[in-house]
Protein backbone atom coordinates (compact mmCIF):
# COMPACT_ATOMS: atom_id res chain seq x y z
CA UNK A 1 0.00 0.00 0.00
CA UNK A 2 1.46 3.34 -1.04
CA UNK A 3 1.22 6.23 1.36
CA UNK A 4 2.26 9.85 0.95
CA UNK A 5 4.64 11.59 3.36
CA UNK A 6 1.68 13.40 4.92
CA UNK A 7 -0.23 10.15 5.44
CA UNK A 8 2.82 8.54 7.07
CA UNK A 9 3.15 11.61 9.29
CA UNK A 10 -0.51 11.34 10.32
CA UNK A 11 -0.19 7.64 11.14
CA UNK A 12 2.99 8.16 13.19
CA UNK A 13 1.48 11.08 15.12
CA UNK A 14 -1.59 9.01 15.99
CA UNK A 15 0.55 6.05 17.01
CA UNK A 16 2.53 8.18 19.46
CA UNK A 17 -0.62 9.43 21.21
CA UNK A 18 -2.35 7.75 24.12
CA UNK A 19 -5.20 5.48 22.94
CA UNK A 20 -4.20 6.38 19.36
CA UNK A 21 -6.55 9.43 19.42
CA UNK A 22 -5.42 12.64 17.79
CA UNK A 23 -7.01 16.07 17.45
CA UNK A 24 -6.92 17.34 13.91
CA UNK A 25 -5.21 20.68 14.65
CA UNK A 26 -2.00 18.86 15.62
CA UNK A 27 -1.60 17.76 12.00
CA UNK A 28 -0.86 21.31 10.84
CA UNK A 29 2.61 20.76 12.33
CA UNK A 30 3.50 18.88 9.14
CA UNK A 31 3.81 22.19 7.33
CA UNK A 32 6.10 23.90 9.88
CA UNK A 33 9.48 25.02 8.52
CA UNK A 34 8.50 24.27 4.93
CA UNK A 35 7.43 26.31 1.96
CA UNK A 36 3.75 25.80 2.38
CA UNK A 37 0.60 26.39 0.45
CA UNK A 38 -1.92 28.84 1.85
CA UNK A 39 -3.58 27.98 5.17
CA UNK A 40 -6.92 27.03 3.61
CA UNK A 41 -5.15 24.71 1.15
CA UNK A 42 -3.26 23.06 4.02
CA UNK A 43 -6.54 22.21 5.72
CA UNK A 44 -7.99 20.87 2.47
CA UNK A 45 -4.94 18.68 1.79
CA UNK A 46 -4.98 17.28 5.34
CA UNK A 47 -8.71 16.56 5.02
CA UNK A 48 -8.19 14.64 1.79
CA UNK A 49 -5.37 12.62 3.35
CA UNK A 50 -7.47 11.75 6.40
CA UNK A 51 -10.42 10.72 4.20
CA UNK A 52 -8.08 8.55 2.12
CA UNK A 53 -6.79 6.82 5.27
CA UNK A 54 -10.36 6.28 6.45
CA UNK A 55 -11.27 4.73 3.08
CA UNK A 56 -8.30 2.36 3.42
CA UNK A 57 -9.67 1.34 6.86
CA UNK A 58 -6.55 2.56 8.67
CA UNK A 59 -8.34 5.25 10.69
CA UNK A 60 -11.68 6.16 12.20
CA UNK A 61 -12.87 9.75 11.96
CA UNK A 62 -14.97 11.48 14.62
CA UNK A 63 -16.81 14.67 13.86
CA UNK A 64 -20.04 16.28 12.73
CA UNK A 65 -22.06 15.36 9.68
CA UNK A 66 -24.09 17.94 7.82
CA UNK A 67 -26.39 17.13 4.90
CA UNK A 68 -23.58 17.95 2.47
CA UNK A 69 -20.31 16.89 4.08
CA UNK A 70 -18.34 15.62 7.09
CA UNK A 71 -16.36 17.84 9.45
CA UNK A 72 -13.72 15.58 10.99
CA UNK A 73 -12.53 16.83 14.39
CA UNK A 74 -10.64 13.79 15.70
CA UNK A 75 -9.11 10.64 14.31
CA UNK A 76 -8.18 7.27 15.79
CA UNK A 77 -6.10 4.40 14.44
CA UNK A 78 -7.74 1.05 13.80
CA UNK A 79 -5.97 -2.25 14.52
CA UNK A 80 -4.99 -2.44 10.86
CA UNK A 81 -3.57 1.08 11.08
CA UNK A 82 -1.56 0.23 14.20
CA UNK A 83 0.02 -2.78 12.47
CA UNK A 84 0.91 -0.74 9.38
CA UNK A 85 2.39 2.05 11.52
CA UNK A 86 4.55 -0.44 13.42
CA UNK A 87 5.78 -1.65 10.06
CA UNK A 88 6.59 1.94 9.06
CA UNK A 89 8.60 2.38 12.26
CA UNK A 90 10.41 -0.86 11.56
CA UNK A 91 9.27 -2.52 14.75
CA UNK A 92 8.82 -6.25 14.73
CA UNK A 93 5.42 -7.57 15.75
CA UNK A 94 5.40 -10.06 18.60
CA UNK A 95 3.56 -13.33 18.18
CA UNK A 96 0.72 -14.08 20.61
CA UNK A 97 2.40 -17.16 22.08
CA UNK A 98 1.32 -18.22 25.57
- Return per-residue pLDDT of the chain as tens, 98 residues: 788 889 999 999 999 888 899 998 888 888 887 777 787 888 889 999 999 999 999 999 999 988 888 889 999 999 999 999 888 888 665 677 77
Q: Where along the chain do its domains lie?
A: 5-89
DSSP 32-65: TTS----HHHHHHHHHHHHHHHHHTTSEEEEEEE
Model pTM?
A: 0.82
The CATH number of the structural domain formed by 5-89 is 1.10.10.10
Amino acid sequence: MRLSKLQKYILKKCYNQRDYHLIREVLLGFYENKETPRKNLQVKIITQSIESLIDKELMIGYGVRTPHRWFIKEVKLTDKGVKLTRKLFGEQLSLPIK
